[in-house]
Amino acid sequence: MKTKSHPLLGVHSLIMMIFIYVPILFIVAYSFNSSRLAADWSGFTFDWYISLFDNRHVMEALANSLTVAIVSTVISTVLGTLAALAMRKIGRRLKSGMGGLLYLPIIIPDIIMGLSLLVLFNQLHMPLGKITIIIAHITFSLSYVYVVVTTRLSGMGGQLEEAAQDLGASSWQTFRYVTLPQIAPGIISGALIAFTLSLDDFMVSFFVSGPNSTTLPIYIYGQVKRGISPEINALCTILILVTVALIFLAQFVLNRGKGQKKQSLLPF
Confidence of residue 39 (pLDDT cuts 50, 70, 90): low
Structural contact between residues 202 and 136, judged by C-beta atoms closer than 8 angstroms: no
Q: What is the pLDDT of residue 261?
A: 40
Answer yes or no: is pLDDT of 265 > 50.
no
Q: 76-80, 114-118, 150-154, 162-166: which range is least confident on average?
A: 162-166
Q: Which amino acid does the sequence have at 23? A: P
Average pLDDT in the 183-209 region?
Answer: 90
Question: Which pLDDT tens digit goes with each residue over 201-245?
Answer: 999 999 999 888 889 889 888 887 777 677 888 888 888 888 888
Q: What is the pLDDT of residue 100?
A: 77
Question: Which pLDDT tens digit goes with each residue over 84-119?
Answer: 888 887 767 777 777 778 888 888 889 999 999 999
Please report the sign of the dihedral spanned by the C-alpha atoms of residue 80, residue 84, residue 90, residue 95: positive
Give CA–CA dist 164/98, Å, rounded: 29
Answer yes or no: is pLDDT of 134 > 90.
yes
6 burial class (0-12, 13-18, 19+ CB within 10 angstroms)? exposed
Average pLDDT in the 144-148 region?
Answer: 92
Average pLDDT in the 162-170 region?
Answer: 76
Structural contact between residues 167 and 250, judged by C-beta atoms closer than 8 angstroms: no
Answer yes or no: is pLDDT of 41 > 80.
no
Query: What is the length of the chain?
Result: 268
Q: What's the chain look like in SS3? A: CCCCCCHHHHHHHHHHHHHHHHHHHHHHHHCCECCCCCCCCCCECCHHHHHHHCCHHHHHHHHHHHHHHHHHHHHHHHHHHHHHHHHCCCCHHHHHHHHHHHHHHHHCCHHHHHHHHHHHHHHCCCCCCHHHHHHHHHHHHHHHHHHHHHHHHHCCCCHHHHHHHHCCCCHHHHHHHHHHHHHHHHHHHHHHHHHHHHHHCCHHHHHHCCCCCCCHHHHHHHHHCCCCCHHHHHHHHHHHHHHHHHHHHHHHHHHHHHHCCCCCCCCC
Average pLDDT in the 65-92 region?
Answer: 89
Residues of the chain above pLDDT 90, percent? 27
Confidence of residue 78 (pLDDT cuts 50, 70, 90): very high
Average pLDDT in the 7-13 region?
Answer: 77
CA atoms within 13 A on the CB side of 176: 8
